[in-house]
């Protein structure tokens, strides 16, 4: 994706603000956070824990992708020798 397309795509995305309660982002067009509205403190703690676990899983997946890309790059380099 080119820089111009990236900027155009970003301009079309709704503006977001961060919730003070759950610390997740939600559209500015909403008056309240759609993630944590109506949750009690126990449910909120579960939501935060689930979000942290998702971030951890995404980080691990990214490391696997980086490792795979390095192996493929090495194999391509060796194929030209």
Using a 10 angstrom Cβ sphere, with 0-12 exposed, 13-18 middle and 19 or more buried, the burial of residue 33 is buried
pLDDT-derived band at 49 (thresholds 50, 70, 90) equals very high
Domain count, the chain: 2
pLDDT of residue 64: 94
C-alpha distance across the termini of the chain, in Å: 32
- Considering only 6-10, 16-20, 60-64, 72-76, which range has the smallest mean pLDDT? 6-10
Kindly state the average pLDDT of the residues 2-15: 74
Identify whether residues 20 and 4 lie together within a single domain.
yes
Please say if the pLDDT value at position 1 is more than 70. no
Identify whether residues 52 and 28 lie together within a single domain.
no
How many alpha carbons fall within 13 Å on the CB side of residue 10? 7
Beta-strand runs (E) in the chain: 16-18, 25-27
Contact criterion met (CB below 8 Å) for 65 and 54: no
Identify whether residues 30 and 43 lie together within a single domain.
no
**Domain containing residue 43:** 39-81
Identify whether residues 44 and 70 lie together within a single domain.
yes
């Amino acid at each position: 994706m080119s820089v111009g397309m990236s900027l155009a795509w970003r301009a079309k995305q709704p503006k977001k603000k961060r919730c003070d309660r759950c610390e997740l982002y939600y559209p500015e067009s909403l008056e309240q956070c759609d993630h944590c509205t109506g949750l009690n403190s126990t449910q909120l703690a579960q939501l935060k824990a689930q979000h942290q676990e998702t971030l951890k899983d995404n980080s691990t997946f990214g490391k696997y992708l980086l490792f795979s890309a390095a192996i493929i790059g090495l194999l391509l380099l060796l194929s030209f020798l």
